[in-house]
Structure formats: C-alpha cells, structure tokens
Amino acid sequence: MNNSPAAVHESARQLARRSFLGQTAGLSLGALSLGLLDKFASASTNPQPIGRTDVPHFAPRAKNVIFLTQSGGPSQIELFDHKPKLHALAGTELPDSVRQGQRVTTMTASQKQLIMPSRTKFGQYGQSGATLGEWLPYHRTIVDDVCFIKSMVTDQINHAPAMTKFLTGNQLVGRPSMGSWASYGLGSANRNLPDFVVLISKMNRPSDQPLYDYYWGSGFLPSKYQGVQLRSEREPVLYLEDPQGMPREVRREMLDSLASMNTMRLEATRDPEIDTRIRQYEMAWRMQSSVPELADLGSEPESTFELYGADSRRPGSYAANCILARRMIERGVRFVQLFHPDWDHHTQLSSWCVGRCRDTDQASAALVTDLKQRGLLDDTLVIWGGEFGRGVAGQGDWTTLDAGRDHHPRCFTLWMAGGGVKPGMTFGQTDDFSFNVVENPVHVRDLHATVLHLLGIDHERFTYRFQGLDQKLTGVEPSRVVNEILA
C-alpha cells in the first residue's frame, strides 16, 4: 500500500470527487466538461460588489457604521439626563399631568408611581458643557466629539418588540435590520469579510437577557445580507475549517464544481437563495484566512490595551469587541454591530447599572478616541444606545438599594459620533421628570432616516419589492432626517 503524501493526496481527491458526484442527483459527467469550472473559479476570486448600482444617491458622509447596542434600556436618568428638581419631589406620586395615561409594564402597574431621584451625581464636561453622570467617567474625555440626542422616542414598552423596532423599523419579526439594509444597498469594500458583522459580549456571568438572531437578520431581503456573528471561541465562525486530511486544492476543486452546478441552476430558476449559497461558499473560503488574521489581537501594541482597558485582553469582552470593530473598519467592513446585554435594571439599580457602565464606559470612549487618532472617525459613524430608557418612578421600595426602574419608551438618550454628525452637541430636551420629550423629538424612524442619509441614501427612494409593496427601512409612517445634528 502506497502511503506517500502524493498518493494520500490523490486518494483524497478521488474520494471527494466520487462522493461529490454520487450525492449530486442528475449530474452528468458531460456537465463537468463544459468549461464552467475554470470560468467560475476565476470569477469567484474577484467577485463583484453586491451593493445596488443606484446607491449612494448622493455623496455619503459616512462609509462605515459601528453600532454599540446596549441591550436592555440604559437609564438616562442616571447617565445623561440630569434632573435636579427630582430631589425635592422624592417619594411623591408622579402627577397625572405628566404621566398623561402612559401605561407601564405589569411589573409596576400594581404599585404607586413614586418618584425616585437620580442615584448619581452629575457634572458638566468639555467645552460643550455636556452633562454626564458619575458612572461614566471615561465618557468625559469624548463629550466634545459626540452628539447626545436626549429626545429619542419609541412606541414599544417591552424588550423584544422595542429592540426589533429599534433595529428593523417594525416591532414585528420579519423585516431586515439596519445592517442588512446597508449591506443590500452598499455592499462592502472588503470581499474577504462579510459586509455586516455582529459581535456579542461574552459576559463574566451568564446573561439572563436573550438576544434573538432576527435582530441582525435579513428579513425579506435575500439571506446573503444578514449579519454574520463572530464568536469569541477558538473558531470565530463555526464549520469554517476544512476537515482533517482535506488538502486545500481538493476543497477548491469541490467548491468550483459545486459553484458550476449552482450557477446552472441559478440560470434556470433565478432563485436568489441559490446566488446566496454560491456567495456563502466563496465567502467561507476567503474567510478561512481573513478571519483568523482579523481575530488575532496579538499584533496590537501595548498602548491599544491600555487605551481600551484591562478587560480588552479577555476574548469576547465588550472591550475586545470594540478593538475588533475598529480592525474591521480598517479592513472596509460596512456595518459592525456590538451587543452588550443586561442593562435591564429593574432591581439593584445602583449596582446593576454601575456594573454595565464598568463593562462599557472605557472601551466606548476608547473606540471614539482610537478612530479619531487613526483618521477614521470622519468616515465612521458610531452609535451608542439601547431600545428605550427607564422610568422616573422607583420599582420596588425606592428608598432602598434594592430599588430599580421600569421600562420607559417616551424618552431616552442615545449618542452618535463621527460620520458627518455635529460634535460637542446636545440635541432635544425632556421635561423635569425625564418622562416626556418637550423639544425636538427624534423617533426611531427618524434615527433610521438619518443613518441612511449619512451613508448617502435617501430613505424614501431606498426600497425593496416584497409582497407587491415597495418596502423600506423607515416604513410608511412619517419620518425625517434630523438635519439639525448634521455637521
């Protein structure tokens, strides 16, 4: 028996070829002699951009987006929206004139809505004089680089529908996420990495808040536009590695043969999911070399880890993911979305919220600083925020450290930086209770319209035909670009 490397290689090649032909119903040997293999192999190594040819509609201000999604509803009352008058009203019931019939969740519907003042001290920072709570000390260094929107509004009061609306424009499952729309319209400058990448924080303790994959799904768009989740494990993407003993040349031949048949089937049926399958196989092939290089932070200097904090050395941490996000932007990835869960502080606000701030504060500020130092911030839009805010009434006994805050959709704070947004600005205002917006409301739909605008896309013209309708991210309800915050 010949066990030489050449013989083993040839044996593997023949086995792969026989297995492939045997499992492919209806394939004749003549089909393999049509000359399509070399033609497709050549095309696959230089794929065309998959974005639409009619966008951008005008010169974009941002080329890339990093969305720092704080899942669970950070408390604007403790972090951004300073309301000093609440201390004089502590323990009194929220006036009906302020509440205006707004419903609360079943978790607080049976208790009196007693006002709980902020648990933090506030200060003003930077030349802009932005107000920040003491739990975000590193944010003080970037206040003159960001725009705080304190008048965000949504109409969903529970997590899943609110997050679904926050990311897809509709509270019902089945619509494309922002990242998928960006991928569909613009594609990416890097054909060796996905257009839309998702990173989820690996928590030091198990998270009790689910993150559903439809948050970064493609909805009714072809599935090639959905977000690709990178893991913090040894294999950032499952099943990306070749089986043991499979030579690369053999794998390439198999992919070329499969692509040829899929191409013939695509020409016959025009099924877009076949095109997705072709592209997924080719992307996986290229990612076998690009992803390990991307995920290896060993090439980063010591100064990077000092900037992002000690937790940035822990694979999968929010801080490490922020470094990965910057590395993706450097490589031309269009849309990077980070998810950090557990901002849902119904109890123990003073420890729970502080913990999430410690997870994210330094790294979020470092990301903005890092992008700015590298000359990337002007072309990169950074967004920080969650699906809604927290209510002014204490949940539980407001006088104790066990007290928390319930969900609140009527107002919350979000910040944006770079990518054509005015730096050092605070936009919008809430009432003295941080309960209602009283100046310059920004609905989630307006946020979507503005993000698309910064990418050079007119949200009214950017549509996809589905079920007989021209669907769009901003839906059919009125929405506007928030021109006041544009640089």
DSSP category for residue 322:
H
**What is the residue-wise DSSP string for 240-307?**
-SPPTT--HHHHHHHHHHHHHHHHHHHHHH--HHHHHHHHHHHHHHHHHHHHHHHH-GGGS-HHHHHH
Please report how the helices 178-186 and 444-454 are oriented relative to each other, as an axis angle in degrees rounded to 10: 30
User: Given this model, what pLDDT does residue 56 score?
Assistant: 96
User: Given this model, what pLDDT does residue 247 score?
Assistant: 64
Q: How far apart are CA 145 and CA 132, in angstroms?
A: 14
From first to last of its 487 residues, what are the pLDDT tens digits of the chain?
455 545 545 554 554 444 444 444 433 333 333 343 343 333 334 444 557 889 999 999 999 999 999 999 999 999 999 999 999 999 999 999 999 999 899 999 999 999 999 999 999 999 999 999 999 999 999 999 999 999 999 999 999 999 999 999 999 999 999 999 999 999 988 888 889 999 999 987 777 789 999 999 999 999 889 999 987 666 656 555 666 766 666 666 666 777 678 788 778 887 777 776 666 656 555 666 667 778 889 899 999 999 999 999 999 999 999 999 999 999 999 999 999 999 999 999 999 999 999 999 999 999 999 999 999 999 999 999 999 999 999 999 999 999 999 999 999 999 999 999 999 999 999 999 999 999 999 999 999 999 999 999 999 999 999 999 999 999 999 999 999 999 9
pTM: 0.84
> For residues 213 and 243, is the Cβ–Cβ distance under 8 A?
no
CA-based max dimension of the chain: 90
| Secondary structure class of 437 (helix, strand, coil) | strand
User: Given this model, what pLDDT does residue 29 score?
Assistant: 36
User: Given this model, what pLDDT does residue 266 score?
Assistant: 74
Left if phi > 0, otherwise alpha if psi is -120 to 50, otherwise beta: which for 432?
alpha
User: Given this model, what pLDDT does residue 269 score?
Assistant: 80
User: Given this model, what pLDDT does residue 45 score?
Assistant: 40
> For residues 294 and 324, is the Cβ–Cβ distance under 8 A?
yes
Left if phi > 0, otherwise alpha if psi is -120 to 50, otherwise beta: which for 239?
left
